[in-house]
Structure 1
Amino acid sequence: MTLSRRLCFAPIVVASLVFGPGLKGWAAGPAAAPNFVVILTDDQGWVDSSVRMMRERDDSRDPFLRTPHLERLARRGIVFSNGYAPAPTCTPSRCSIQFGKTPARLKQTVVHDVLAAEHGIDCRDQVSLAEMVKRNDARYVTAHFGKWGFPPRKPEEAGYDRTDGNTNNGDGDYLDPRTRQPLPPDDPKRIFSVTERACRFVAEQAAAKRPFFLQVSHYAVHVRHQARPQTIERLRSRPPAGRFTERDLTDPHPEGNASGLVYAAMIEDLDEAIGRLLDELEAAGVADRTYVFFTSDNGGGFRGNGPLRGGKAQLWEGGLRVPFIVAGPGVEGGRWCDVPVAAWDIWATIHDLMTGRSPPDGIDGISLRPLFRSGAVPERLRDRALVFHFPWYAGHPMSAIRRGRYKLIRSLNTGEVRLFDLLADLGERHDLAAERPELARRLSAELDAYLQAVDAERIEDMRAARRRELERYIARDRAALVEAERRLATAGDSERGRLEQQVAFLRQRLAAHRNGLRQLEESARLRRW
């Protein structure tokens, strides 16, 4: 199998059969300013749905899961088989999607980027999706509901008119993260309340005839895993398949992050919510002029990723390749496209759909609009390189580059590189670096050139910044512990209980900081990968 100029494949069935009654509007041209909906899920892996992500591979979907609403979206649009998250963890991916640039260029490359914090890099000088939309057309109303996940800059500071605030993982686990008050059983991971706010927003803007940009960032399917009891019970009667075993289905008390039954039910709850949003677009009469982008912030972490190697927090395909579907006016539906794309392309695509122009200088994304219909793929999309940089101080740090069918990965601990032909070896099992040394050298040089051009964060600097941070925390908490122990020694009965809790808490936190230092040293010693 070789790359050709024609990498987007038309459906086998004709369009009228794919769309069915009432859905033809998705193929029509917009009669007014288009609307945009970005649906971003959390930790949903490439095979975490019943949608076949690669036309010719049945193992690119999960045989147990049933996600009819994602299937419905796929029939209306394009499944990008080589769709990539910007990073293998959430924060850098969310930042990249929001600003249309790689994490390396933005200098937001890992969760809790201590080097960026030390240098005061908060992306306030970057133009967000919402700001770009409003600059191109001031009529637009913008909203972000769900997990924001980028603490340095709040959504209301990034051009969003309606938001849930500067939310993160805890907001999706509890009704009140401070008290750990649980969410109601009918709203696991806030799946349905986030969707309800999104649907209400759509209805309001449609009624007022205002164009809108909406991002719905689900907390699911990140740990802690949660699902509705009735969904869990419904799945018990389904035959086991793939990752989901008989033991999962017969577990009398499924709970926690290890339960396959809860994980599967959570994905199907999420799919139902996506269906409600698609239904609202139809009911509001705006589906024929609304583009929907669906993807995940990074690869999955639950019992593997089908044929892909690795998972979350790694630059193997399992950590980067994610579901990626686009539907909307002018998009020829029911197709798969093999052109490698990344979620930082969403910014440039929306910019193009609004203006018909290329994005400003410095934007890494390229518009996917030329791929919306069958035909020859422009060279700028077919032959470009995608660069991923992950100087992770708590695991094995890596960088990677994908160009065409080939992907090169480099260990930032040893400098060793590995080369894979992803068309012949999707599972990244056969290292070609020794067989194709010239290609490995060329891709390695291209990777270096990009990282140098954007002044990407170095792993040595990242580790040094993390060490300084931990040492500050240890000094602070050690002083606080000495003071708390001094006060406890002379405390009366009324104060003793509170001070004992404070001492226990500080000792626990000091142990965590010291463990962080050990983890830092262990990460630097990692050689096997």
Structure 2
Amino acid sequence: MKRYSAFLLLWIGGLGAAFGQTRPATPNILLIYTDDQRYDALSVVQQEQGAAARFPWFRTPNLDRLAQEGVRFRNAFVVNSLCSPSRSTMLNGRYNHLNGIANNHTPLTDTTITYATELRKAGYRTAFFGKWHMGNEKGKRPGFDYSFSFIGQGRYQDCPFEENGQPVQTQGWVDDVSTTHAIDYLQQHRKGPFFLALGFKSGHGPFQPAARNAEAYADAVLTQPDNELESAPYRGKVETGRKNAAAATPTGNWTEKNDKKIRDYFRTLKGVDENIGRVLQALDSLKISDNTVIVFTSDNGFFFGEHSLADKRAAYEDAIRVPLLVRYPARFRPGKRIDKLVLNLDIAPTILDLAGVKAPASFQGKSWVPLAEDKPAAWRTSFLYEYFYENGFNTPTIKAVRTENSKLILYPGQEDWSELYDLRADPREKKNLYSTAEGAKLKTALTKEISTLEKATGYTDPAYADPKPVDAQGRYIPPKTETLP
């Protein structure tokens, strides 16, 4: 009878596997993210864009492999396009108006409930490598059993690290060093389950590629963006106390003036792709690829002359869109592309879902696992974007709503700067419809939508944000002197 029962259980299990009803063993999970990587800084995206591609010469064969063997989210966004705020949101799944970080110089204090703490409770070994950058925090990274990380921005060459909070001097290019130590950890904990976060310094400026890539793309032809002269409405109108605020009217060719910076940026990302290849090779050699999830993304996008801007922060597409690739051979169909709106807010609940762990009530995002598995799910059609003025920078506080096909950008206290775009007709955000009869109906709809989203997310102007340079009427104070373009 016992033998018959065992046979029956095996037979039923076989049927379940045949119809896709079984679940693989608890997966290992790798979260890998870059700094300031534009959504189109992937050769798979450049190829997809065809004649419209601005960087068709850029190649990322290892990231393309992830896209081919996994899922590519083509509409992935951040809810705040700034490094520390975005990284904190990925960790604790909350908007920055609630989680304690609204700028790049404030340490993260809200670390009691993160994906790392919840994974540890569920029996995962957790490790963090590379760039943490929430303020200039020192010490062992909270929620992680092990950390090998550097303070703040670190440096590209021979960067000082901390191992579990203790100083360690390293030699070599920083992202090579982080990857080597991450691979050593994989080898030591191959039996899992483990969670490993690997944060690259690339491609944050000032850009310093690895010596092996110092001359890459030397012959590449750089293309000026077609919206370079569509200047941001606040350009040259925000007092920063610095002498590098952009002048109100752009002059000359931004791309020409920044030729080396652009090439060096992509040279650093070439080094990232090489290190992704090393990680993939390590997983294959350890024979743990099939049951290891890899999530690859970036903390925000980046401008290279669009709207005559550099850096990020603003609510235009090039700053708020990021790459998002996910490979999980045991569950996700390879080569799948998803166009739903997904956010960095979703990273934490998704990681827990993949591990079979319930997300805490404090998380504000949603797991996109059902999307990757082709399961019907109610999903967002819009999201709230926020940015809070940071001391010394020339981007004002921003509130915006981005839907599947449109965008409203508001600058509190400065209605004359407001922007409205129909992204279907105008994906490059060149025609501001805010004050036009053509945009009246869309303006009404998105004004209502942003109010709904503010209430749903508990939006507030946080007390820990830097004070704005405004007058008694709440309007931004213009620069005192004309500055460099």
TM-score range, shorter chain: 0.7 to 0.9
Partner of 1:241: 221
1:231 aligns with 2:234: no
SS at match of 1:447: helix
CA distance in 1, matches of 2:469, 2:148: 30
Aligned position for 1:397: 397
Q: How big is the shift at 1:61?
A: 7.0
CA positional deviation for 1:389: 0.9
1:213 aligns with 2:195: yes
* Aligned mate of 1:386, from 383, 386, 411: 383
The structure with the greater share of residues assigned to helix is 1
The amino acid of 1:423's aligned partner reads: R
Deviation at 1:57, TM superposition (A): 5.3
Percent of aligned pairs sharing the same letter = 25
Does the C-alpha gap of structure 1 residues 94 and 461 become closer, same or farther in structure 2, counting only changes over 3 Å?
Answer: closer
Q: Kindly provide the CA deviation profile for residues 475-529 of structure 1, in whole angstroms up to 9, marking residues without a partner as x.
A: xxxxxxxxxxxxxxxxxxxxxxxxxxxxxxxxxxxxxxxxxxxxx844799xxxx
Mapped contact 2:389–2:467 kept (Cα < 8 A):
no
Deviation at 1:53, TM superposition (A): 6.7
Identify which range, 453-462 or 103-112, moves more after superposition.
453-462
The aligned counterpart of 2:430 is 429
Task: Say whether the 8 Å CA contact 1:67–1:268 is kept in structure 2.
Answer: yes
Report SS of the residue matched to 2:443.
helix
TM-score in terms of structure 2 length: 0.75
Shift of residue 463, structure 1, vs aligned partner: 4.9
* Number of aligned residues: 412
TM-superposed deviation, 1:169: 0.6
- Counterpart position of 1:332: 333
Deviations 1:406-458 (A, max 9, x none): 22111124135322232332211233444343442343233234435655453
CA distance in 2, matches of 1:154, 1:60: 41
Separation (CA, whole Å) in 2 of partners of 1:466 and 1:308 = 22
The C-alpha deviation readout for 1:229-274, integer Å capped at 9, x for no partner, is: 33234544xx523449xxxxxxxxxxx9944443332221111001
Question: Residue 131 of structure 1 aligns with which residue?
Answer: 117
C-alpha distance in 2, partners of 1:31/1:461? 44
Contact 1:73 1:325 survives alignment (8 Å):
yes
- Aligned residue among 293, 296, 302 for 1:294: 296
List per-residue Cα deviations over 1:370-401 (Å, max 9, x = no partner). 121446x522x2x4431111121432221111
Matched, 1:142 2:126: yes
Match of 1:199 in 2: 183
Tell me the distance in 2 between the aligned counterparts of 1:428 and 1:311: 18
Quick check: 2:92–2:111 contact (8 Å CA) kept in 1? Answer: no
Identify if the C-alpha distance between structure 1 residues 144 and 289 changes in structure 2 by more than 3 Å, giving closer, same or farther: same
Check if 1:364 corresponds to 2:364: yes
In the TM superposition, 1:465-476 aligns within 5 A as none
Relative to structure 1, is the Cα distance of residues 338 and 152 closer, same or farther in structure 2, using a 3 angstrom cutoff? same
2:295/2:324 contact within 8 Å kept:
yes
Kept in 1, the 8 Å contact 2:300–2:320? The answer is: yes
SS of the residue corresponding to residue 52 of structure 1 reads helix
For 1:47, the equivalent position in structure 2 comes to 40
Partner residue in 1 for 2:236: none
Number of the residue aligned with 2:317? 317
Aligned with 2:45: secondary structure?
Answer: coil
* TM-score (ref. length: structure 1): 0.69
Query: What residue in structure 2 maps to residue 283 of structure 1?
Result: 285
Q: Distance in 2 between matches of 1:314 and 1:260?
A: 19
Over 3 Å counting, the alpha-carbon distance change for 1:199 and 1:234 in structure 2 is: same
Alignment root-mean-square deviation, CA: 3.6
With over 3 angstroms needed to count, the CA separation of the structure-2 counterparts of 1:352 and 1:334, relative to structure 1, is: same
Alpha-carbon shift at residue 192 of structure 1 (Å): 0.6
1:341-490 → structure 2 map (5 Å cutoff): 341-355=342-356, 357=358, 359-374=359-374, 377-379=376-378, 381=379, 383-393=380-390, 394=393, 395-416=395-416, 417-433=418-434, 434=436, 435-451=438-454, 456-458=459-461, 462-464=465-467
Q: Secondary structure at the match of 1:355?
A: coil
Please list, as runs of the form range in 1=range in 2, the aligned pairs for 1:154-165 lying within 5 A after superposition: 156=140, 158-165=142-149
The SS at the match of 1:64 is coil
